[in-house]
Structure 1
Amino acid sequence: MSKNILNDLPELLRANVIDEETAKRITAYYDAKPNASSNRLFVVFGILGALLISMGLVLIVAHNWDDLPKAAKLFIGLLPMLIGQGVCGYLVVKDIPSRAWREGCGAYLCFTIALSIAVVGQVYNLEGNFPRFLMVWMLLTLPAVYVLRSSMAAMLYVCGVTWYACELGYFHYPSMPPWKYWPMLALVLPFCYTEFIMKGFKNNFYYFISWLVVLSVTFCIGAFENHHEDLVIGMYMSLFSVFVLLSELKAFETHRVLTNPLLLVGSLGIMCLLLLLSFDWYWDELDRFTEQDNLASMEFYFTAILSALAVILMVFVFRAKSIASINLKGFAFLIFIALYIMGINAPGSAQLLVNLVILIFAVYTIRSGAKQNHLGILNYGLLIITALILCRFFDTDFSFILRGLLFIAVGIGFFAANYYMIKKRKQNA
C-alpha cells in the first residue's frame, strides 16, 4: 500500500492535489516506518533458526550419548535449557520488544525443556511413561508462554497437550479418559484471550492458535467415548453447534471464512454428521442402543454439558443479533435431540426428516452465499446437495437414468449459480 502511495506522488504533484512540502513529509514518513513484511519474515526465520538449533543439539547428543559419563550427560542435557532461560531472562528484564526474539526463544526453550527432562530421566533411571513425560513437559513449558508472551510457545503447548490426550485416549490399550487434558488446555486460554481477544487484534498467530485449539478439542473429545455409539453423534453435534454459535459472537468474528475455524469446523462437522445420519444403519440400530444404560454414560454427560453451553450461547447471540441473521446450523443440536426422540418410535420418519434437514441447510447456505456475494459459501451449499444425492445413490432403488438426471441438474445448478454471481459482480463493478 505504501509503495502505491509513493509511486502516485509525482502524479499528485502534477495535478496540484498536494504541494512539494507535503510530498516530502509523506516520503519521510514511509521511509521511517518499519517494513511489516520484513518484520514478519524476521519472526519466521527466528523461529526456524531456534527449531534447527534445537534439533541439531538433540542429534549431536544422541550420536555421542553412550560414550559420555553421567556428569557430562547431565551437563549437556541441562546446559541448552539454562542458556535458553538466561536469554529469556535478559529479554524480560531489559523489556526487549522484539517479536522475533521472543517467539524464537519460546520455541527454543520448549524443545530444550524436553531434552532436559529426557536426559535427567535416563541418567537416573526414573520410572514413567510417555503420556506422563508429555504432561510434565507441557506444564514446564507453560510459564514461557506467559513470561515471554510467546504465541509460538502457546502453539507448541496446544500441540503437546493434544498429543498427551491422544496417547492416553487412543494409542494406549486399554485406553483411559485423559481427564487432565481439560485443565491443561484451559491453562493456555487466558493467554489467548488477553493477547488477542481483549486487544481486538487478530494476526496470523491468532489464526494458527484458533485452528489448533478447535482441532484439538474436536479430536480429543472422542477420547472420552465409551461404547455408546448413538450418543457419540449427539456429543459431536452439540460440540459443533457450540462452535457455530461461538463464531456468531463479535469477539470471534473474522473478515475471511478461512480464518474462522469455529465456523468452518462447526459447519462441516454438522453437515458430515447429518449425512451420516441420512443412512438407515443408525436408525435401525437405535433400539439396541437405547437398551444400554445411556444416562450413566460419559457420552451422555458430555452431550448434556455441551447442549447446556449451546443454549447459554444462544441467549448471548439472540441479544446481539436478530434471529434471521443467526447461522441456522447453530440450532443443529436441538434438531438432533428432536430426531433422536422421534427415531426411538419411528426410525423411518426420523431418517426421512434428516434428508429434509440437509436439504434445508443446503438451500439456506446457497441463499446466504448469494446475499453475501460469496462464491465459496454458495458453492458449499451446492456441494451439500451433491453429497446428499451421492449418498442416496447407494441406498435407493432409483433408476440410473433418474440418478444421472439428478447429477446433470446439480451440474447445471453449479454453472447457473456461479454465472449469475459473477455477472452480478461485474454489473456492480
Structure 2
Amino acid sequence: MSIQKEIPKLVEAKVISQSTADDILTYYANQKQPTQNRLLSIFGTLGAIMVGLGIILIIAHNWDQFPRSIKATFAILPLVIGQFACGFTLLRKQTSQSWREASSAFLFFAIGSCISLISQIYNIPGQLGSFLFIWMILYLPIPFLMRSSVGSILFIVGSLFYALNIGYWEYPNTIPYWYILFIAASILFYLIQKKENPAGNSVAIHSWLIPLSITICLRAFSKNHEEIMFLAYMSLFGVFASIGKQVSFSQLTPASNGFKIIAWLGSIIVLLILSFDAVWIDIRRNSYEFPTLLQSTEVYATILLTTIALILAKINWTKSKAGFSESLFFVLLLIYITASHTSFAYILVNLLVFAFGIVTIVSGNREQNLGILNSGLVIITALIICRFFDTDLSFVLRGILFLSIGFGFFIANYQLLKKRKHHA
C-alpha cells in the first residue's frame, strides 16, 4: 500500500484535511531524501575512485612506450580533471553531496599521482615522507572548500601515514611536527560537521578515526625518555574520556562513540603494562637531569595533554558528569611522582586497576547495564591473568582464582538480569 495513493483517498473521504495531507507527504519525502543522498554519495565516491584507478592502470600498462612530454601530460591530466570537477561542483552542484564527495575523492588521488609521476618522469629525488607532506599540504583546504566528509577521512588517513613514515619507518626517525597542523585541521572539520549534523555517519566515523590516529602517532613524538610517554598516553585517554562524556555524544550509538571506547581500552592497556614490576625496574634505572628534560618532547607532550585533561575533567566535575575513568590519569601521575623510584609503584598500580574494575562493576549494577558490568569483570580477569605470569602461586590456587572469576561472571549477570526482571 503506497502512502501517495492513500492520502488523496483520505482527503476525499474527509478523514484528514488537505493541509494535513500536505504535511504528511512532505514528512515522508524528507525521510527518503537523506537515504537517497547517502547512496548517491557512496556510489559516486566509489565510482570516482574506480575511474581514477582504472585510468592509472591503463596508462601504466603502456607507460614505457610514451615520450616524456606525453608522460607529463598524462600525469597532469587527472589533476586538471579533478580541479575542474571541484570547480564545477562549487559553481553548479554545490548542494549535491554526491558531487562534493566524488570530486573531492578524485582530486585526492589525482594530487598524489601527479606528484609521484612528475617525480618519476624527471628523476626528482626525495623521500616518501616529503612526498606525503607535499600531498597533504596541497590537499589540506579541499575538505573545507568542498564540505566533503570523504575528503576529510582521506586526509586523516594520509596524515596518519605521513606521521608513521616520519616518526617510525624512516631512519633516522624525526618528529612529525607537521602532523599537529594536519590533525588540528581534521579536528576543526570534525567540529564543523558535528555542529551541522551531530548524529550523522560522518561524525561517527570521525569519532573513531581522530582518536585512533592521535593514539597511534603520539608515540612518534618520543625521542629520549620513552617511559614518560606512559603519562602522556594516560592523559590523552583522560582527554578522550572527558570528550566522550559530552552531551552531544548521547545522540550517537555507544559503538559510534570512539572517544569513549578508545579511552577505556587504552587506559586499561597502559595500566596493565604498568602493573608489572619489571616495567618499573626499567623506569627506576633512568636518571633525569633538568637540562635534558627541557629538551625532551615527551615532557612537553605530557604537560600539554595533562593540562587539557585536567581542564576537561574539572568542567565535567562541575557538571556532575565526571567519573572514575576520567581521573585515572591524575592518579597515575601522583603514583609516578611519589613512588616511581620505589618498589611500591607497581603495587599501587595493581590496586588502581583493581579499584577501577570494582567501580565499573558497581556502576554497571547501579545502571543495570550488562555491558558495563561485564567490562568491570573483564578488567579484574585481565589483572588476574597478568599476575598469573609473574607470581609464584601454585596451579591449584591459580585454578581456584579462575573458577572464582568464572562463577563471579555467572552470578553477577544472573543477579542483574533478576533485578531487571523485578523492575520490569
Alignment partners' CA distance in 2, 1:141 and 1:117: 12
Q: Could you tell me whether the CA contact under 8 Å between 1:248 and 1:327 is conserved in 2?
A: no
| Deviation of the 1:221 alpha carbon | 0.9
Secondary structure of residue in 1 paired with 2:140 = helix
Residue in 1 that maps onto 2:362: 367
Residues 120/229 of structure 1: CA separation in 2 closer, same or farther (3 Å cut): closer
Map 1:49-198 onto structure 2 (within 5 A). Answer: 49-196=47-194, 198=195
| Deviation of the 1:344 alpha carbon | 3.8
Q: Could you tell me whether the CA contact under 8 Å between 1:164 and 1:181 is conserved in 2?
A: yes
- Please tell me whether residue 239 in structure 1 is matched to residue 236 in structure 2: yes
Alignment partners' CA distance in 2, 1:121 and 1:338: 52
| Deviation of the 1:375 alpha carbon | 1.9
Alignment partners' CA distance in 2, 1:286 and 1:221: 19
Give the partner amino acid of 1:237.
M
2:381 is matched with which residue: 381, 386, 392? Answer: 386
Alignment partners' CA distance in 1, 2:345 and 2:65: 68
Cα-to-partner distance string for 1:132-155 (whole Å, 9 max, x where unaligned): 111111121122211110010000
Residue in 1 that maps onto 2:39: 41
2:400 is matched with which residue: 399, 405, 418? Answer: 405
Alignment partners' CA distance in 2, 1:29 and 1:300: 58
Give the partner amino acid of 1:327.
G
Alignment partners' CA distance in 2, 1:29 and 1:184: 41
Alignment partners' CA distance in 2, 1:344 and 1:162: 33
Alignment partners' CA distance in 2, 1:219 and 1:253: 26
Residues 370/255 of structure 1: CA separation in 2 closer, same or farther (3 Å cut): farther
Q: Could you tell me whether the CA contact under 8 Å between 2:204 and 2:252 is conserved in 1?
A: no
Residues 254/396 of structure 1: CA separation in 2 closer, same or farther (3 Å cut): farther
Cα-to-partner distance string for 1:162-209 (whole Å, 9 max, x where unaligned): 10111011001111111111112222332222222x335231111112
Secondary structure of residue in 2 paired with 1:174 = coil
- Please tell me whether residue 271 in structure 1 is matched to residue 268 in structure 2: yes
Question: Structure 1-normalised TM-score?
Answer: 0.89
- Please tell me whether residue 202 in structure 1 is matched to residue 202 in structure 2: no
Q: Could you tell me whether the CA contact under 8 Å between 1:229 and 1:289 is conserved in 2?
A: no
Question: Structure 2-normalised TM-score?
Answer: 0.90
Secondary structure of residue in 1 paired with 2:331 = helix
Residues 220/345 of structure 1: CA separation in 2 closer, same or farther (3 Å cut): closer
Q: Could you tell me whether the CA contact under 8 Å between 1:241 and 1:329 is conserved in 2?
A: yes
Alignment partners' CA distance in 2, 1:287 and 1:201: 46
Alignment partners' CA distance in 2, 1:20 and 1:313: 52
Residue in 2 that maps onto 1:332: 328
Name stretches of at least 5 consecutive residues in structure 2 with no aligned partner: none
Residues 426/52 of structure 1: CA separation in 2 closer, same or farther (3 Å cut): farther
Identical residues among aligned pairs (%): 38
Give the partner amino acid of 2:322.
I
Alignment partners' CA distance in 1, 2:248 and 2:21: 40
| Deviation of the 1:25 alpha carbon | 5.3
| Deviation of the 1:42 alpha carbon | 2.1
Residue in 2 that maps onto 1:299: 298
Alignment partners' CA distance in 1, 2:282 and 2:121: 54
| Deviation of the 1:123 alpha carbon | 2.4
Cα-to-partner distance string for 1:389-409 (whole Å, 9 max, x where unaligned): 111111122222221121111
| Deviation of the 1:30 alpha carbon | 5.4
1:377 is matched with which residue: 347, 372, 375? Answer: 372
Alignment partners' CA distance in 1, 2:62 and 2:417: 63
Residue in 1 that maps onto 2:220: 223
Q: Could you tell me whether the CA contact under 8 Å between 1:231 and 1:299 is conserved in 2?
A: yes
Alignment partners' CA distance in 1, 2:203 and 2:133: 24
| Deviation of the 1:43 alpha carbon | 1.8
2:338 is matched with which residue: 333, 339, 342? Answer: 342
1:357 is matched with which residue: 317, 329, 352? Answer: 352
Q: Could you tell me whether the CA contact under 8 Å between 2:193 and 2:202 is conserved in 1?
A: no
Matched residue pairs, number? 415
Cα RMSD after superposing both structures: 2.6
Give the partner amino acid of 1:418.
N
Name stretches of at least 5 consecutive residues in structure 1 with no aligned partner: none
Residue in 1 that maps onto 2:309: 310
Residue in 1 that maps onto 2:279: 282
Alignment partners' CA distance in 2, 1:290 and 1:105: 54
Alignment partners' CA distance in 2, 1:41 and 1:329: 39
Residues 345/190 of structure 1: CA separation in 2 closer, same or farther (3 Å cut): closer
